[in-house]
Amino acid sequence: MATINSNFLKLKAGYLFPEIARRVRVYTEANPDKAARIIRCGIGDVTEPLPAAVVKAIHEGVDEMATREGFKGYGPEQGYEFLRQAIVDNQFADLGISADEVFISDGSKCDTGNILDIFGKGNVIAITDPVYPVYVDTNVMAGNTGDADEKGAYEGLLYLPCNAANGFVADVPAAKADLIYLCFPNNPTGAVATRSQLEAWVKYAKANDAIILFDAAYEAFIQDPEVPHSIFEIEGARDCAIEFRSFSKNGGFTGVRCAYIVIPKTVSGKSDTDERIPLHQLWSRRHSTKFNGASYPVQKGAAAVFSPEGKAQVSALIEHYMGNAKLLREAAAAAGLPVFGGENAPYVWVGCPAGLSSWDMFDKMLGEAQVVITPGSGFGSAGEGYFRISAFNSRANVEEVCRRLKALVA
C-alpha cells in the first residue's frame, strides 16, 4: 500500500479561511432571511475592478495570441524579460537588484510555501506570533515541526511573540535561528517595521548565518515615507534575505494570479559538505522543474501596473482601500476597542470586548451584525483576544460595517 506524508496529520483540523467559510455557510443555511445582509470583511480579497490599463494590456496579450505572428507557447519559467525588467526599474531602482534575480510566479502564497523545497532539514525556523498561517502549515507539511500543543503551537518552531507592548513587531531573539519569516506591512496586525528594526534583523541574520524570508505583499499600502518598502533598502540584506512580492493586492490580481520572488545571487546556504551554495541557482532549478510560468497575457497585464496610467489607477485603488481602513479604525476606536494597524496596511487589528474570545467575537459579529471578520486566534495563540477586519470592500459596505460595529459594541 502507498504510504502518505504523515506530517499532514499534524495539521489542525482546517485551514483558517475555509473554516470561516464553513461557519458562514452553516449560519446562512440556518438563517436564510439574513444571508443577504452578510458583509464579508474576513479574507483579504480585493473587491474593486482591475485597473483599466491592466485590462487593456491583458486584452492586447490575448489578441496577440490569436495571431500566428504573435502566438506564444511555453514561456520562460522565470518570467518574460519585459516584466522582470519593469519590476526592477520600478520597485528596486538603485537597490542593486538585477532582472535575472526576479522570478515570476502565480502567487506569493505559493512562493512562501515552495521556498522550503530548497532548504534542508534541521533548520531552526523563527515565526512571529500572530502570523500568516501559510508559514506555519507549510513547515508542518514539510516535516520541520513536531506536534502541536493544546494552544496550537508546534514543537520545533521558534515563536516570536508580537503584542501591544512591542507594537506587534517581534524583537530579535536571543536564541539562534536559521530561517526567519518576517512580513511587513504585517498580515494580520497591519504593523510596520522601522528602518532601525529591519537593520537589527539584518545584523542578526548576518551574525547567525541565517536567511530572512521577507514577505512584502502589502508594501504598496505604506503611507509613511520613513518606512522601508523592501528589505533590500537595508545595507547587507542582499547577503541574507529573500523577498516575496505580489500583484494581488495593489493591482487587484487575486483572481488573475501573478507575483514574484527576488533572490539575490549573493545569498547562500550551506550544503551537507559545508560548501556555500547560492540559493539563486537552487530556486532557478526548482522553478524550472516544477513551474511552467505565468501566462503571457497575465504578465502583460502585470507590466501595465508600472505604466503611467497603471500607476495612477493603482494609486487610486490604494487610496480607496486605505480610506476604508481609516473609517474602520475610527469606528472601532469610537466603540471603545483597542485599535492597531490600518495606517500603513489594509488590515485593522482590533481588541475584543472584555470577556470575549476571538471566536466568540466572530460568532457575535456574524450572528448579531451579519459581518464576517477573522478571529485573531486563527493566526496563532498570541492573536487570541483580537480580530482582524479587512479594508478590502466597497465604501458603502465599509460604512455599513462601521455602523453595525458601533451599534453592536456600544
Nearest to 193 by CA among 202, 201, 184: 184
| Per-residue confidence (pLDDT) for residue 374, from 0 to 100 | 95
Q: What is the DSSP letter of 13?
A: S
Number of residues written out for the chain: 410
pTM, two decimals, is 0.96
State the architecture of 7-49+309-409 in CATH terms: Alpha-Beta Complex (3.90)
- What is the pLDDT tens value at each position of the chain, 410 positions in all? 999 999 999 997 666 878 888 999 999 999 999 999 999 998 889 999 999 999 999 999 999 999 999 999 999 999 999 999 999 999 999 999 999 999 999 999 999 999 999 999 999 999 999 999 999 999 999 999 999 998 889 999 999 999 999 999 999 999 999 999 999 999 999 999 999 999 999 999 999 999 999 999 999 999 999 999 999 999 999 999 999 999 999 999 999 999 999 999 999 999 999 999 999 999 999 999 999 999 999 999 999 999 999 999 999 999 999 999 999 999 999 999 999 999 999 999 999 999 999 999 999 999 999 999 999 999 999 999 999 999 999 999 999 999 999 999 87
Cα torsion at 324, 189, 248, 389 (round to 10°)?
-40
Residue 108 in grid coordinates: 506569493
Q: Which residues contact residue 375 at a Cβ distance below 8 angstroms, ignoring those fewer than 6 apart?
A: 357, 358, 359, 361, 362, 383, 387
Nearest to 246 by CA among 202, 183, 321, 179: 183
**Would you kindly state where each structural domain of the chain is located, as residue ranges?**
7-49+309-409, 54-306
Question: What is 54-306's CATH number?
Answer: 3.40.640.10
Residue 44: the pLDDT is: 86
- Rg of the chain over all Cα atoms, to the nearest angstrom: 21
- Specify whether the CB–CB gap between 279 and 123 falls below 8 A: no
- Specify the pLDDT at position 14: 63
Give the residue carrying C-alpha cell 512580492: 245
Q: Do domains 7-49+309-409 and 54-306 have the same CATH topology?
A: no
In whole angstroms, what is the distance from residue 130 CA to residue 181 CA?
Answer: 12
